[in-house]
Amino acid sequence: MKLGRVVGTVVSTINAPDFDNRTLLLCDLVDPAGRPAGGYLIAVDTVGAGAGEMVLILDEGNSARQVLNAPGAPIRTLVVGIVDAVTDGSL
């Protein structure tokens, strides 16, 4: 799992059928404090996240395909949650 901030959507007019009717989000990776961690991912949205929101990203192909119940899909990365807050373990 990774943390990211949604910075936009990706539009593709020609794609694999498994991406039909799915929203692709461009997510900058962030650290738990919300600071840029370097890098980005394009992820299939499963939760209705929008620009500016911090999200939980699942970046493991087999797990992503299980969540979507699409065993043969060429999908690796999903947005699986919208993050309300990140706290440290000492609280």
CATH number at residue 72: 2.40.50.220
Q: How many other CB atoms are there within 10 angstroms of residue 44's CB atom?
A: 22
Q: Is 65 helix (H, G, I), strand (E, B) or coil?
A: helix
Q: Each residue of 27-55: pLDDT tens digit?
A: 999 999 999 999 999 999 999 999 999 99
Tokens of 80: 């699986």
Residue 88 within any structural domain of the chain: no
Residue 89 within any structural domain of the chain: no
Counting the structural domains of the chain, the total is 1
What pLDDT score was predicted for residue 91?
57
HSE-CB for 47 with a 13 A CA cutoff = 18
Residue % of the chain over a pLDDT of 90: 90
Residue 7 within any structural domain of the chain: yes
Q: When comparing pLDDT for 91 and 6, which is higher?
A: 6
User: What's at 66, amino acid-wise?
Assistant: Q
Residue 87 within any structural domain of the chain: no
Residue 67 within any structural domain of the chain: yes
Residue 27 within any structural domain of the chain: yes
What pLDDT score was predicted for residue 61?
86
**Domain coverage including residue 43:** 2-82
Residue 64: pLDDT above 90?
Answer: yes
Residue 89: pLDDT above 90?
Answer: no
Residue 23 within any structural domain of the chain: yes
HSE-CB for 30 with a 13 A CA cutoff = 19
